[in-house]
Amino acid sequence: MTRLLMCRPDHYGIYYEINPWMDRGHQADRGVAVRQWEALYRLLTEGLQVQVELLPPVPGLPDLCFTANAGLLVNGLFVSSRFRYREREAEVPHCTQWFAERNYRVACLPEPAFFEGEGDALFCGNDLFAGHRFRSELHAHQLLAELLGLRVHSLELADPWFYHLDTCLCPLQPGRAAYYPEAFSPASQRLLKEAIPELLPVTEAEAKRLACNALVIGRSVVVNAGCPHLSRTLTEAGYHVHEVETTEFLKAGGGPKCLALSLDRDGS
């Protein structure tokens, strides 16, 4: 992952409640959020030499900064999200326009299948894992597999606090991932163990700090601050760990990974 899409949180805030993290009475501090986003941006662009493209922020779309939810890009085809909640529907035309203007092919799954992009679709090596229940639908996985010509491993999420797959699974490299087991149904826990030989479990306390919502850049992993167990595990496994503060984004159920969409996936 060397090219990412991000969006400044200039209009970010907690203006509705569509997951258990969000509480309009526990408002995010936008100034702090901007500073945290800028620190992440500097780490990626200056520290890790990542090329970051910017999606323009739009007034009235507070969650547009969570670009991972915009869709899924594979082999130059951008599969746009269809959000379950109407509060986020207006993000779609802005995201699809950005990709269309840059000559990406753009597609959307047939209605009424809900699909929420990289929030619920993650590659581990060449294997695509997709979450369903709280946001994306199981039926969308079949449609996604047909559209992309790829096999999709469907994972049922079991805890509404971990409403997207990227809140509880972090692919690190082919055959290895960090995960929070209790976020998955028993059958999906078994599927993960069969499909990914090396799974690194995350503690409950760190899972609730969205430890799995990490950005993996080669052997570097950008992790939410306050996750010492995962940071130590990753360091011992040979990764370079970079901790960042995302306290204001946690109030909406987001972390470092939510704030970036991969532009590099070639599906090969």
pLDDT score, position 266: 63
Q: What is the arithmetic mean of pLDDT over 138-157?
A: 97
**Residue 2 pLDDT class (50, 70, 90 cuts):** confident
Q: What is the arithmetic mean of pLDDT over 259-268?
A: 80
pLDDT digits (tens, 9 = 90+) for 216-236: 999 999 999 999 999 999 999
Beta strands in the chain (DSSP E): 3-6, 51-54, 71-74, 77-80, 105-108, 121-124, 127-132, 152-156, 169-173, 176-179, 198-201, 215-217, 220-224, 240-244, 261-262
List the CATH code of the domain at 3-262. 3.75.10.10
What tokens does 15 get? Answer: 């203006």
C-alpha to C-alpha distance for 61 and 9, rounded to whole angstroms:
10
pLDDT score, position 267: 44
pLDDT digits (tens, 9 = 90+) for 166-199: 999 999 999 999 999 999 999 999 999 999 999 9
Say what the pTM is: 0.97
pLDDT digits (tens, 9 = 90+) for 92-116: 999 999 999 999 999 999 988 999 9
* Peptide bond just before 201 cis, omega within 30 deg: no
pLDDT score, position 245: 98
pLDDT score, position 1: 54
Examine the residue annotation and report whether 258 is marked as an active-site residue of this protein.
yes
pLDDT digits (tens, 9 = 90+) for 6-44: 999 999 999 999 999 999 999 999 999 999 999 999 999
Examine the residue annotation and report whether 65 is marked as an active-site residue of this protein.
no
pLDDT score, position 265: 80
User: Which residue in the list 141, 153, 164, 242 is annotated as catalytic?
Assistant: 164
Indicate the domain borders of the chain.
3-262
Pairing of the two strands 215-217 and 51-54: unpaired
Of the candidates 157, 137, 149, the one whose C-alpha atom is nearest the C-alpha of residue 253 is 157
C-alpha to C-alpha distance for 114 and 101, rounded to whole angstroms:
24
**pLDDT greater than 50 at residue 165:** yes
